[in-house]
Structure 1
Amino acid sequence: MLSIVTFIKDLGTIRKALLLAVLLFIAGGILGWIGTGSLQQLLNEQLKGISEISGNLRESSNPQWSFFVFIFLNNSIKSVVIIFLGALFGILPAFFLLINGAVIGYLIHLSAIQGQDLFTLIVKGLLPHGIIEIPAIIIACAFGLKFGSNVLSALFKSGRGEEKPESRWPFFMRQTFTASVWIVILLLVAAVIESTITFSLLS
């Protein structure tokens, strides 16, 4: 039930939700890049908060360990919770994807405007851990979107046709449990990379 093969097969049953999650994340990135007005203010507050947390962690007695613990707990808890919050018609996973994409898009655009080295930001600052962390978050949100879709189907189903296996609640709840375990594992790996390799590259 918890094998990587099962997890990969489960991903195949939520292909539409995965595609939608990717599109929402990209849309968020575009919105962040062109963001103005209230959106720009919101994103500035997000980056300010991240900067303050980063500063506090760097001042701790063991910065790398502090970064690891914070990054892992923050990402893993949010990602697992967002799966089940998807029961609220998939609204919160969609918002989570848009905001996360927007923060990255805005950060890259802001850095470009300020003349900062984008190679350092993207290749050294985002890519080493992001290549695992971002897909893991997208997968979590995709399951959240599927959760919302299943809730809507249960509320408004017409009763026609045979129900797909992935829409049956026992089957789907097993999927979410398997997904939660593997998402946490992926985010653990990403946190190790971010608190070691990324930390060293940007120091």
Structure 2
Amino acid sequence: MGLKAFLHDLHTTRRLILVSAFLFCISIVVGWLSTGAIQSILAQQMAGLGEVAQRLQQSEHPQWSFFVFIFFNNAIKCVLVIFIGALFGIVPIVFLIMNGMVLGFVVHLQADMGRSLYEVIVKGLLPHGVIELPVLIIACAFGLKFGGQVMSSIGVGIGLKRKGLAQTWELFMKQTLRVSIWSVVLLLIAAAIESGITYRLMSH
């Protein structure tokens, strides 16, 4: 479960990580340029998040409430997206696209409201985003890998060449568990930064 093994896992999955990063970046651009039906969907997503943020802000200890919500929300989603990726990688793709589009939409909306992009990106996004966004991309990449592993196993099963399949799955599940644990640890750090540093920067 060490850092060296985790970094090796990332290296062996680098192509899918790059694919996920590319898809996420494209989705940000789509969110920024969104109009019509897409814009309405994203606006509804933001309205829901706004209501949650308002409730958390009105709690007795807002920063602690934000920390708990951010951490569990992100950690649960990222771990789920890895394992639900077993359904042929569909969920990780949808998760990447939606998160990328929401991010692009939010930044554009803030700019339209007169906030400087420096404030939105450097103060509101970068402090925690440098950890949170790569973890999201990594989780989706491993979700895609899980889907690929399932499809590969189906192909092997159909071809009746099952030798070594159990060992392959054992190694893959160890890798997946390791990535899940490290994702949760990194998201814990990101949540602490977002509810602490980002919260204070954006409150002034």
The TM-score, its normalising length taken from structure 1, stands at: 0.93
Q: Which amino acid aligns with 2:201?
A: L
CA distance in 2, matches of 1:174, 1:17: 18
1:62 aligned residue: 61
Per-residue displacement from partner, 1:125-168 (whole Å, max 9, x unpaired)?
A: 00000000000111111100000111111223486x9x999x92
Q: Secondary structure at the match of 1:86?
A: helix
The reply to whether residue 140 of structure 1 matches residue 132 of structure 2 is no
1:177 aligned residue: 177
Q: Which amino acid aligns with 1:56?
A: R
The reply to whether residue 200 of structure 1 matches residue 165 of structure 2 is no
1:72 aligned residue: 71
CA distance in 1, matches of 2:152, 2:88: 10
State the shift of 1:34 in Å: 1.2
The reply to whether residue 95 of structure 1 matches residue 122 of structure 2 is no
Q: Residues 164 and 47 from structure 1, CA distance in 2 versus in 1: closer, same or farther, beyond 3 angstroms?
A: farther
1:116 aligned residue: 115
State the shift of 1:90 in Å: 0.3
State the shift of 1:196 in Å: 0.5
- Structure 1: gaps (5+ residues): none
RMSD (Å), alpha carbons: 2.1
State the shift of 1:113 in Å: 2.4
CA distance in 1, matches of 2:154, 2:34: 36
Q: Which amino acid aligns with 1:169?
A: W
2:50 aligned residue: 51
Q: Which amino acid aligns with 1:177?
A: L
The TM-score, its normalising length taken from structure 2, stands at: 0.93
The reply to whether residue 154 of structure 1 matches residue 139 of structure 2 is no
Q: Residues 164 and 30 from structure 1, CA distance in 2 versus in 1: closer, same or farther, beyond 3 angstroms?
A: farther
CA distance in 2, matches of 1:28, 1:14: 21
CA distance in 1, matches of 2:178, 2:139: 11
CA distance in 2, matches of 1:153, 1:16: 17
Q: Secondary structure at the match of 2:199?
A: helix
State the shift of 1:111 in Å: 1.9
* Range with bigger deviation, 133-142 or 104-113: 104-113
Per-residue displacement from partner, 1:35-65 (whole Å, max 9, x unpaired)?
A: 1111111100111111111111010000000
1:125 aligned residue: 124
Q: Which amino acid aligns with 1:199?
A: Y
Q: Which amino acid aligns with 1:170?
A: E
Q: Residues 182 and 164 from structure 1, CA distance in 2 versus in 1: closer, same or farther, beyond 3 angstroms?
A: farther
State the shift of 1:94 in Å: 0.6
CA distance in 2, matches of 1:109, 1:63: 26
CA distance in 2, matches of 1:29, 1:164: 41
- Number of aligned residue pairs: give it: 201
Q: Which amino acid aligns with 2:67?
A: F
* Range with bigger deviation, 110-119 or 6-15: 110-119
